[in-house]
Amino acid sequence: MLTRSHIPASRVGHVSIIRIEEADPVPTPGFPAGTTLDTYRRYSDSIDPRWYDSDGAPLLGMSGFVLSTGGVNVLVDTCNGDWPVAGLPPQPEASPFVGRLRAAGLAPEDIHVVVNTHLHLDHVGCNTHEAADGSVVATFPNAEYLFVDTEWEWAQQSAAAGNPSCGRVDRAVAPLLEAGRGRLVSMDHRVTDEIALLPTPGHTPGHVSVEVTTDAGSAVITGDMMHHPIQLFEPGLCSLFEEDSDEAARTRIALLERWRRRDVLLLGTHFPGSGIGLLEQDARGFRYAETAL
């Protein structure tokens, strides 16, 4: 069965899950767009009032997750990192991501596989870093980096067109592929027996979530398929940065229909609170129960 704890970690069968939080939740209007205080109050049994502000703006954080199974550590999304992006203001402080990974008991050398759900700047930033000699090096020196082929094709074109959302691919993705440290895979690629990519297009053309499947239960790392728990109840709500809002909504609706047949541990890349919650069935359809505080 799915186990619960009081730290940002959990377990599905023999797969352990640790959240590595880079940024604390802050009010983020437009993620998703169209929410009001009344929107949240309609789902007060599942949406904690600490997950939105007094103006109805959702609170969003930024996290990666480490999945560990059979001696393999898989890191899903590496957050913002420290690479500057043309056209955007510099970050106010250095990323704590690697330090928080170490605090969770994992060194960069302990990561065997890195998966980016998509190639927006806030999901790839710590893939690499600048060495003392100015060169770009892999932050996780023993890892194979997996990038979805469809996403890479789109991201290159998008970056060349000046889209700042893809403003880190030249430092955080391209050098890894050029050095043979990265591999292009399909949207349904299986990472291990229990861990597979789950096609969730819409936010970007090659966006994937990451699904864990064991005899004891299932878990899904959302990436940007979903930004906030409110979208579990109103999946038509979209962020301002969807490449295809209609497709993004269709993807969420299809997944929710699939999840109606089983309880799922949902790992929200941007979710406030613990970022880990059990999506359970109730008379109305769903209830999102946060599992770690």
pLDDT tens for 37-65 read: 999 999 998 899 999 999 999 999 999 99
Quote the tokens at residue 204: 């970007």
pLDDT of residue 281: 78
Domain boundaries, the chain: 9-290
CB under 8 Å to 258, separation ≥6 — which residues? Answer: none
Report phi then psi at 111, rounded to 5: -85, 130
For the cut 90, the answer to whether the pLDDT of residue 122 exceeds it is yes
Share of the chain above pLDDT 90, in %: 82
Residue 115, helix vs strand vs coil: strand
Which carries the bigger pLDDT value, residue 286 or residue 152?
152
> Is pLDDT above 50 for 2?
no
* Mean pLDDT (whole number) for 148-175: 97
The answer, yes or no, to whether residue 130 has pLDDT greater than 50, is yes
Tokens of 166: 């893809």
- Determine the topology of domain 9-290 in CATH: Metallo-beta-lactamase; Chain A (3.60.15)
Q: What does pLDDT average to over the chain?
A: 92
Q: How confident is the model at residue 4 (pLDDT cuts 50, 70, 90)?
A: very low
State how far the Cα of 292 lies from the Cα of 206, in Å rounded to an integer: 30
Q: Which of 123-137, 221-235, 247-261, 272-286 has the lowest mean pLDDT?
A: 272-286
Q: Which residue has the tokens 């730290």?
A: 7
**Which distant-in-sequence residues (6+ apart) come within 8 Å of 261 by Cβ?**
none
Could you tell me which residue, 9 or 233, shows the higher pLDDT? Answer: 233
Cα 8 to chain centroid distance, Å, stands at 15
Model confidence, pTM: 0.95
Is residue 257 classed exposed, middle or buried when 0-12, 13-18 and 19+ CB atoms within 10 A define those classes?
exposed
Whole-angstrom distance, CA of residue 73 vs CA of residue 17: 10
Residue 289 and residue 277 in contact, taking contact as beta carbons nearer than 8 Å: yes
Q: How distant is the alpha carbon of residue 84 from its chain centre?
A: 21
- Count of C-beta atoms within a 10 Å radius of residue 122: 20
Which one is predicted more confidently, 293 or 122? Answer: 122
